[in-house]
Structure 1
Amino acid sequence: MRERSAGMEEEKGIQVLIVDDEDRFRVTTAATLKKRGFAVKAAASGIEAIEELKKSEVDVVILDIKMPSMDGHQTLRELKKLKPNLEVIMLTGYGSLGSALADRRRGVFAFLTKPCSIDFLAERIEEAFAKKKGVPEYSRRARDIMVPFFALMSRVRADQSVAEAVDVVLQFFDEPFREGKPHDSLHRPILVTDEEERVIGVISFSDLLRALQEPCAGLMEKDSLSSHSIYLEASSYVGGFATMVRENASRTVRGLLPPKPTTIDENAELMEATEKILSLKVTNLLVVDQNVPVGVLREKDLFLEMAKIIKDHQMEPQATPKAGLEGVCPSLFDTMKTTHVR
């Protein structure tokens, strides 16, 4: 784990508030973080957390989502009312994409799945504190904008058929209407696991459609030999879609996966992720931590981050232009090279 800088933070310690109804986890984590030099307070419920925040200085909150009475989502809203700039890290073994994205919009610094290593948690606390103290916002990385696995509800086994995969995905199509936006389901990647439930890849709706294109491409090539056209005649398409769907329904999901999944390290800069998606012509990247998959980074996530950066930049006070190059805003390219996302 990185060494924290000397000075006031070292003497006083980063003020951390752990909010979790599980006694064993709360007590053990608090004791371990104290040994790392953090100043730790603990609360067993959302109500206790609110009262603690009213009377104490808190830099970073570690908040469990699954709690009785007042859950983590409700607690987050109340804490943010008291201190809008409070940095919050949410811990959970549960969750959904809709609720995770909603909490992200409320200013959650990071989502971590329980259990996680104390080193990893401590690093996230330090990063959240650094952001609070004014370290540039654009120091975020792939792990900070990825969709964690707990938020991805659609999972299929590699040995299942395309028909079974479609059925699994359809079960979650109504979920966005309850927790998110109706169109969110169209952007959800589908996790592919092996027989031991280990993630081995990720597919999208485009991959399911691409399965129809391969045999169709063969027909197009055959037709082009005689017609000197790379396209089929309109009459040749009649009933073709339904035919291809039926023929591919029994194909295994494993056949849709590339020989090797397209991965990116969780610490990768966002410009690296962007270049990888564009150069490899993929829509999703499997995010790995020491070769272990931990989440999915979508082109949609990069677009949303781009929109956020633009919005934040527009809200910043503009410097008065000076003669020559002084006071001139850096180019978008330079900004992208020197920034990353949480």
Structure 2
Amino acid sequence: MSTSRLRRVTVLVLDGAKPLDVGIPAQVFTNRASMPYEVRVCGARAGLVTGGDGLSYHVADGLEAVEWADLVFVPGYRQPDREDPPEAVLAALVAAHRRGARLAAISTGAFALAATGLLDGRRATTHWHYTRALAAKYPLVRVDENVLFVDEGTVLTSAGAASGIDLCLHVLRGDLGVAASNHAARRLVAAPYRSGGQAQYVPRSLREPVGERFAATREWALHRLDEPLSVPLLARHAAVSPRTFSRRFVEDTGYTPMQWVMRARLDLARELLERSEQSVEQIATVVGLGTGANLRQHFQQILGTSPAEYRRTFTRGE
């Protein structure tokens, strides 16, 4: 990217675009003296674009703004798994990438990048609600459901909504350095760098009827998380062999029995961190992980953050 001129940023607004996703890059890379960027907002064509959440956008530029850009943001849009963007949009993105522009998707904007084929064989992420749909529709994409954003060099993707701020600040750090990124974060009243991934934001779901075969056994286990639980013990409750139990449990839930137990324990730990003043050591005992060190290890491995950081983020009233 040339340093002799302003860096060119285009925000490509597709039908059903989410307002927050559109606004984040437009505001982070704002046209101001302290920021060496020029920002344009465009659509598949100039004029009115029907957005999501009851809003519409009047954009001054069409796809010529994608041709002009050094960095193209694709904000998330509604129902991305149902229909691909117009062929002209996909072709413009491919052409921009071919001439060296970076492409960055926020939330479900990843579906548009995946439709171009540019994510094939690469890591990518999207909003946690759509990670499975993205993986199913584009099996060549290596979907990572736990991270806030993924930087693959010339293509970048981020998780839902506010993680677009994390992605934009990451781009600023690479372009202008840490000081400029921190200055932008202060202006946005945002954390300069958030630890962890989006797994920590996924709501508790283990009580939902993801499979009826062993629902009673799962419910039984949820009331005994502080006790030693094993596959033979769970299989005995379900009145089947351990081998049959393990195979069918994966079919029902997508997890092995012990993976499910661990996530159930971490879900309970998350609730206790949010709603109680118990120490990490006390919570580790309550959820069956024994020690605070054990809880911290599994919290980091699965949720990508620490219990203390999680508590600071989610404790109500702080």
TM over 0.5: no
Higher relative contact order (CA 8 A, sep 6+): 1
- Alignment TM-score, normalising by the size of structure 1: 0.37
- Alignment TM-score, normalising by the size of structure 2: 0.39
